[in-house]
Structure 1
Amino acid sequence: MHRADRRHRRLPVRALAAATALLAALTLAPAYAGDLNPSNPLADSGPWPHSTITTAANPEYNNYLAAQRPQRKAAMAEIALTPRMRWFANCSTCNVERIRDTVTKYVADTRRKDPGALVQLAIFGLWPRGEHVNGRRPAMTRNDLIAYKRWIKQLAAGLGNARTAIVLEPDLAISANHGGLSDPTPARRMAATAWSANYLATTLRGEAIYLDAGSADWLTIDNAVRLLSRSGIQHVRGFALGATHYDSVPDNVDYAARLSAALARAGHRAKRGVIDTADNGTPFTWPQWNARWGALYRRTGNKAYAFDNTPTCGSSTEQVCQTIGHQPTWDVVGPEAGKLGLGEQQTALRTQAERYVDAYLWFGRGWRWMQQGGNDSQTPTRMVRMALHSRFDHPTG
């Protein structure tokens, strides 16, 4: 585990105008691509905006707007004003016919009339009844597959010609049938993902699609290669790491390099990764979580201690807890890389990051109850606590 020194920093209180100016500076990517990854589709000068939609789908921004106390508002701004992925879920209560309109509105809000702006989304459609969150693994039926394809087509229509970064099917790694997270119909879910990858890649323009590949502390490289090969990796840019785990960026950089090489040996060349940094500012692995929180969770059944709901850090020195991490950027060895464990002395890791990682993106949602949607009662407090002890710089209000 690679960790830098954790020092508590007091959050400044700024006027909204100052926060907006800072956000503009943070969300503009540098105007050149790295020599080691010249084909990186995320490396250009287009802005990466945050969403300002004030619906239940964006509780982070709503909580920020509603906050009255200046320091609390500033803490919430560190999440609400950071560019991150919105999840679009295919569920039994969702209206397939409305998804196109919903996505169209999200695209317009994010682009702010700038066609070069990056629209970020996670597509989560393989578990339409949501039971996998509670440990149940229902089969994917033929009717589920039909509905899934209709949903994907409508979603793609809503995206149109937008420049997009897409994480396709977070928790796809469940279908690798790894340990106790077995999927009863893995072949059908992988086939559905492969169809979706192909459809989106051939229908959209300006897209960069990354298939979920779990995390460095989840699947072995061989299992990840089998999963991705059966799920359409040949159609897309690459793979996504860390969506629902919290292990360190250096561990995932090394994993991305090894996975890319293994995919090349399997016939899938030049595949690159993106790494989630939304909630691994104080990184830990699943075994480390199990050592600290596992027995308590199993004894009490209290989901406040579940892996998907690991408690937030209460101090700058606490371990095996959640804080927000590195801001989203394609500049993976930028000014704060040393805080990740990718400082100037880490030559090999820095080279791996520049060559095999397209960007750090925020597609995890550790501040939400069980990483799920909606504005549950815990989200505002978790947002504040995750920001208070972060080592990393973010927009503040």
Structure 2
Amino acid sequence: MRPRVLGTALAALVALVAALLAAPTSPPASAAGPSLGAPTDLRTTVVAGQKAIRVTWSPPSSGVPAGLAYEVLLDGEVVDTSILETTYTITDPGLVVGHTYDVGVRATVVASHSATVSTAQQLYIAPVTTVQSANPSNPLAGREWGVYTGLQDQAVIGWRAAGYPDKLAPIAMIHKAKFFGNWIPDAQVYQQTKDYIEGAQAGDPERLTILTLFRMFPWEGKASILQRLPTPAEQASYKSYVTNVARAIGDNRVAVVLQPDGFFAWKAYHTLKPKVGRKQALLPARMLAWTSKTLDAAGPNVSVYVDMGSEDWALGKVAPVAKFLKLCGVEYARGFSLDVSHKNYLDREILFAQKVSQALAAMGLKNKHAVIDTSDNGQPFAGKEINPPGSHQPYTPPGEIDPCTKKNQGTPCTALGVPPTTDVDNPAWDLGAEVNKAAARYVDAYLWVSRPWLPDQGQGGTKFSPDFASRLLKTWTFSPYEPFTAKGT
């Protein structure tokens, strides 16, 4: 049986006795009697950074006698009694991530109580969204992020197919930025985007939805932008797709990571310029600039982050990244994203973000901030560690490195990193004072964009692997529930 929290029980009893002594004598109402109205406007949400459910409600619309109190119930059991207050946080230590709980509230006076009003609440991992004093304009901070738990998420689908095991729930129930790409038809993407936003909001339009737009074609793999440019028909299809996404976003609070591996735009330019000339070689960059502008104009609450690879992919060179961010429309965006599909050291990415932002400011584009993918760099490595310069071995994509077998493995492997958050300078991330200062100023958030629980990502793999997920969780050195405790060893 779940332990009950009785911290306010004595105060409740004292208040009720006082109310009864002061009230005129009358026969007691029957339990759930018609004279005692039920609470109204019941709402629940998950508390950021805690295994806890916050419950709020309003008083009954009628029948409010002296001495009225409220009982909060979890799966039919009373967990506490609240006097006058119409908010309560359930911090039951038995709560389990992924479980859906029936949360109820009823009005009560002595032995009488109203009907119980209740709602279902699934326990997910709600990100901590601290506002940094050095970055007060951060549109991702100071508000709830909607954690999507529906069947547009491969991890949720895989978790469900595996029978909802508790040990895999953290991956299914943590915030992730869903990919929208050409596997979703142009005619369907409006509705799928709309459904995804509504699912993440879960009835609260103030919640922020974060998604990843990965629609450029050709781009990577066999259909590579390094070999050919989009045809006129492909360009028209792309614009139709992006326009539909923008329509679906509308006035909703949404952040978009635009075109992961955006450094391909730079590579495509240098690869194709000798063949087709400068103007044509800049086509991918112009298409991304149009996308950034279109998304920015979608509504007043949209924040775009144009992806431009990672510090290790750019070999630490700031100038080409800043130049191509400008060409790709970062002027219309909140900023840029880094380290998607790579697993580079977080401190290097943060300091690189600082330099890129400063370079953009020098070009007249001020106050551009970064988001950094931390889904898979818990045990980081740079690209040259798996693809040494001058090596004649086939190229190994960073996304194809298997999960670590132990903490502090010492060889390149994949591990979950810092949980999604705007609390970017927390000492728990073990980054040091200088890096924390840069993060607080130049980094809006750490996001989970890559999906290391999906093998063969670079080859279009979309199937959830319970084995990968289990191994990733066993070596995770960061806790989303202990943000002020240094990471494990």
1:241 to 315, 338, 356: 338
Q: Is 1:43 aligned to residue 141 of structure 2?
A: yes
Q: Are the counterparts in 1 of residues 374 and 448 from structure 2 also a CA contact under 8 Å?
A: yes
Q: Are the counterparts in 2 of residues 34 and 354 from structure 1 also a CA contact under 8 Å?
A: yes
Residue in 2 that maps onto 1:4: none
Q: Are the counterparts in 2 of residues 131 and 137 from structure 1 also a CA contact under 8 Å?
A: no
Deviations 1:196-246 (A, max 9, x none): 111111122211110001111112211101111111111110000011111
Partner AA of 1:151 in structure 2: Y
Per-residue deviation, 1:19 = 8.8
Q: Are the counterparts in 1 of residues 129 and 141 from structure 2 also a CA contact under 8 Å?
A: yes
Q: Are the counterparts in 2 of residues 214 and 242 from structure 1 also a CA contact under 8 Å?
A: yes
Worse-matched range after superposition: 378-387 or 105-114: 378-387
Whichever structure has more strand as a proportion of its residues is 2
2:239 to 144, 149, 157: 149
Residue in 2 that maps onto 1:359: 445
Q: d(CA) in 2 for partners of 1:388 and 1:156?
A: 39
Q: Is 1:192 aligned to residue 283 of structure 2?
A: no
Q: d(CA) in 2 for partners of 1:69 and 1:18?
A: 9
Residue in 1 that maps onto 2:468: 382
Q: Is 1:312 aligned to residue 420 of structure 2?
A: no
Residue in 1 that maps onto 2:5: none
Q: d(CA) in 2 for partners of 1:186 and 1:366?
A: 32
Q: Are the counterparts in 1 of residues 98 and 123 from structure 2 also a CA contact under 8 Å?
A: no
Q: d(CA) in 1 for partners of 2:415 and 2:100?
A: 21
Q: 1:62 to 1:18 in 2, by over 3 A?
A: closer
Worse-matched range after superposition: 283-292 or 249-258: 283-292
Q: 1:350 to 1:384 in 2, by over 3 A?
A: same
Deviations 1:152-180 (A, max 9, x none): 11111112221111101111111111899
- What is the number of residues matched between the two proteins? 360
Structure with greater Cα Rg: 2
Per-residue deviation, 1:322 = 0.2
What residue ranges of structure 2 are gaps of 5+ in the alignment? 1-92, 102-120, 482-489
Alignment of 1:329-368 (within 5 A): 329-334=421-426, 336-338=428-430, 342=431, 346-368=432-454
Q: d(CA) in 1 for partners of 2:164 and 2:294?
A: 47
Q: Are the counterparts in 1 of residues 335 and 370 from structure 2 also a CA contact under 8 Å?
A: yes
Partner AA of 1:29 in structure 2: T
Q: 1:280 to 1:135 in 2, by over 3 A?
A: farther
Alignment of 1:82-97 (within 5 A): 82-91=174-183, 94-97=184-187
Q: d(CA) in 2 for partners of 1:179 and 1:190?
A: 9
Partner AA of 1:336 in structure 2: A
Q: Are the counterparts in 2 of residues 175 and 182 from structure 1 also a CA contact under 8 Å?
A: no
Q: Are the counterparts in 1 of residues 176 and 449 from structure 2 also a CA contact under 8 Å?
A: yes
Per-residue deviation, 1:390 = 1.2
What is the DSSP-based 3-state SS (H/G/I as helix, E as strand, rest coil) of the residue aligned with 2:252? Answer: coil
Deviations 1:311-346 (A, max 9, x none): 1101113131001111100110125222xxx2xxx2
Residue in 1 that maps onto 2:378: 281
Per-residue deviation, 1:380 = 2.5
Alignment of 1:1-397 (within 5 A): 15-16=96-97, 26-30=126-130, 33-44=131-142, 46-54=143-151, 57-68=152-163, 70=165, 73-74=166-167, 76-91=168-183, 94-128=184-218, 131=221, 137-177=227-267, 186-219=281-314, 220-291=317-388, 306-318=397-409, 319-334=411-426, 336-338=428-430, 342=431, 346-371=432-457, 375-376=462-463, 379-394=465-480
Per-residue deviation, 1:385 = 1.4
Whichever structure has more helix as a proportion of its residues is 1
Q: Which has the higher contact order (CA 8 A, sep 6+)?
A: 1
Q: Are the counterparts in 2 of residues 282 and 322 from structure 1 also a CA contact under 8 Å?
A: yes
Q: What TM-score, normalized by structure 1, do the two folds share?
A: 0.82
Q: d(CA) in 1 for partners of 2:162 and 2:94?
A: 13
Q: d(CA) in 1 for partners of 2:337 and 2:357?
A: 12
Q: 1:221 to 1:168 in 2, by over 3 A?
A: same
Deviations 1:90-131 (A, max 9, x none): 35xx42111101111101110001111111111111125754
Q: d(CA) in 2 for partners of 1:126 and 1:169?
A: 7
What residue ranges of structure 1 are gaps of 5+ in the alignment? 1-11, 299-304
Per-residue deviation, 1:287 = 0.4
Q: 1:334 to 1:113 in 2, by over 3 A?
A: same
What is the DSSP-based 3-state SS (H/G/I as helix, E as strand, rest coil) of the residue aligned with 1:153? Answer: helix
Residue in 1 that maps onto 2:38: none
Q: What TM-score, normalized by structure 2, do the two folds share?
A: 0.67
- Computed over aligned residues only, the root mean square deviation of the Cα atoms, in angstroms, reads 2.9
Residue in 2 that maps onto 1:301: none
Per-residue deviation, 1:142 = 2.1
Partner AA of 2:377 in structure 1: N
Q: Are the counterparts in 2 of residues 165 and 209 from structure 1 also a CA contact under 8 Å?
A: yes
Q: Are the counterparts in 2 of residues 135 and 181 from structure 1 also a CA contact under 8 Å?
A: no
Per-residue deviation, 1:68 = 4.5
Percent identity of the aligned residues? Answer: 27
Per-residue deviation, 1:15 = 3.5
Q: d(CA) in 1 for partners of 2:399 and 2:136?
A: 36
Worse-matched range after superposition: 163-172 or 137-146: 137-146
Q: 1:22 to 1:103 in 2, by over 3 A?
A: closer
Q: Are the counterparts in 1 of residues 146 and 208 from structure 2 also a CA contact under 8 Å?
A: yes
Deviations 1:65-109 (A, max 9, x none): 233485xx41x2232111010000035xx4211110111110111
